[in-house]
Structure 1
Amino acid sequence: MKMKNVSITEVNADNWYSCCELTLAHEQQSYMEPNAVSIAQSKFETSLRPYAICADGQTVGFLMFNSVPEELDAYWIYRIMVDRAYQGQGIGKAATKLMLTEMADSFGAKKVIVGYHPENAGAHQLYASLGFEDHGHRFGKEMAVMKQLPD
């Protein structure tokens, strides 16, 4: 899939290590597990789909979602991150749009949820700009926001 110069591609033998080398800003590190942990998790929870985010052909981010509905009868986004050197360029938003299209087209997702720490202002801004809404769902320390996808 491609949107402008941003694309997403399934994690594979050619890009998995590049995904593991990506880093977040220091203040963001407490918000999510390292990409290597997520990739390992996907090998044991086989409904998880890990993807590399590329811009101009270079791996600049990572995302992962579940390909089957879970809590609240929704498809969940597990991870989305853009390397600290590439943040603030619209890559995360473009990749999220591509991911939502992939979730709908390949897996029939109609309702998508993502959980994040309430103090993660960047995540809040991103998901709100994409039409995710807070319906008061909380899971541990995370809030969960929801988006209905068009038919």
Structure 2
Amino acid sequence: MSNVKLVELNLENWYECCKLEVSSEQAEYIESNAISIAQSKFEPTLKPYAIYFEEKVVGFLMYNSVQEELDGHWVYRIMVDKEFQGKGIGKAATNLMISEMAKLPNVKKIVVGYHPENLGAHNLYSSLSFIDNGDRFGNEMAVIKHLNE
């Protein structure tokens, strides 16, 4: 999907990211973008990005640029505004994020955690070859994508 791109969070797009919303059914599964943006200011290894579709901010994602649990680099957030869901934007943005993360030094695994009842997240990560090895962190399951070495 060539009309989807990631842009590092900046002065021009941070507020648009704060205004984005997921559906009411998804809201219990994800922190607000404002909280994620604040977290990135206190944890400098976190990399926040706006997701653009046809030059409009429609989503937000954030990942850690250093290795953590399960010897992987973690995706902290990924969301697409409720008005733009179901169009393949989340999958395209996730693929772009994986490509960005693969450029980091020594990345072998990308890990993302999500609530087991979040079927949208489950379908997205399954379609991108993330594997559930049974790892659990609190109420979340962690799935892993192994990158080719």
Whether these two folds match at TM > 0.5 is yes
- Relative distance call for 1:107 and 1:57 in structure 2 (3 A) is farther
Q: CA RMSD in A?
A: 0.8
1:85 corresponding residue in structure 2:
83
Deviation at 1:110, TM superposition (A): 1.6
2:99 corresponding residue in structure 1:
101
2:30 corresponding residue in structure 1:
32
TM-score, length-normalised on structure 2? Answer: 0.98
Report % sequence identity: 61
Query: For residues 107 and 44 of structure 1, what CA distance do their matches in structure 2 show?
Result: 22
1:48 corresponding residue in structure 2:
46
1:64 is aligned, of 51, 62, 65, to 62
What number of residue pairs does the alignment pair up?
149
**Deviation per CA, 1:26-60, whole angstroms, max 9, x where unpaired?**
01000011000000000000100000000001000
Which consecutive residues of structure 2, in runs of 5 or more, have no partner in the other structure? none
Deviation at 1:106, TM superposition (A): 3.6
Which consecutive residues of structure 1, in runs of 5 or more, have no partner in the other structure? none
Paired AA for residue 128 in structure 1: S
TM-score, length-normalised on structure 1? Answer: 0.96
Greater than 6 Å deviation, 4+ residue runs: none
- Match of 1:67, SS state, is strand
